[in-house]
Amino acid sequence: MKLNVCVMRRHAPNPHSCGNGGGLEIASKLEQTLAERGLSVPVERIACFGLCLKGPNVRLLPQGRFWHEVKPGDAEEIVAALPPCDS
């Protein structure tokens, strides 16, 4: 299991992107929250799911669940919704 966080940054004329909406902060907050709970779930920073207008976006793999319009303050909710770890 792992989390993918889009951190893509775009600039004008179409600046709407997850990175501009806080993607890097979201990734860091997820890592912090996972560590606090003792969970070893990798957080990968990726560049674009193709869902830019719904971002910032986070995806859980391999399950495929998406979270859209994520804010750094949503990290607790996302981590709480993860399925149980095998380890």
Binding interface with ligand FES (CB under 6 A):
6, 8, 17-18, 48-52, 55, 57
Tell me the closest approach of the beta carbon of residue 46 to ligand FES, in angstroms.
Answer: 8
- Least Å distance between CB 23 and ligand FES? 7
Please identify, using beta-carbon distances, which residue of 5 and 85 lies nearer to ligand FES.
Answer: 5
Q: Cα separations (Å) of 84 from 5, 10, 31, 40?
A: 20, 35, 17, 11
Q: Which two tokens stand for residue 43?
A: 């957080």
For ligand FES, the closer of residues 31 and 68 by Cβ is 68
| Beta bridge pairs of residue 66 | 59
Are 56 and 46 spatial neighbours (Cβ–Cβ below 8 Å)?
A: no
Q: Residue 56: which of 1, 8, 3 has the closest Cα?
A: 8
Q: How far is the CB of 12 from ligand FES (least distance, A)?
A: 15
For ligand FES, the closer CB: 8 or 78: 8
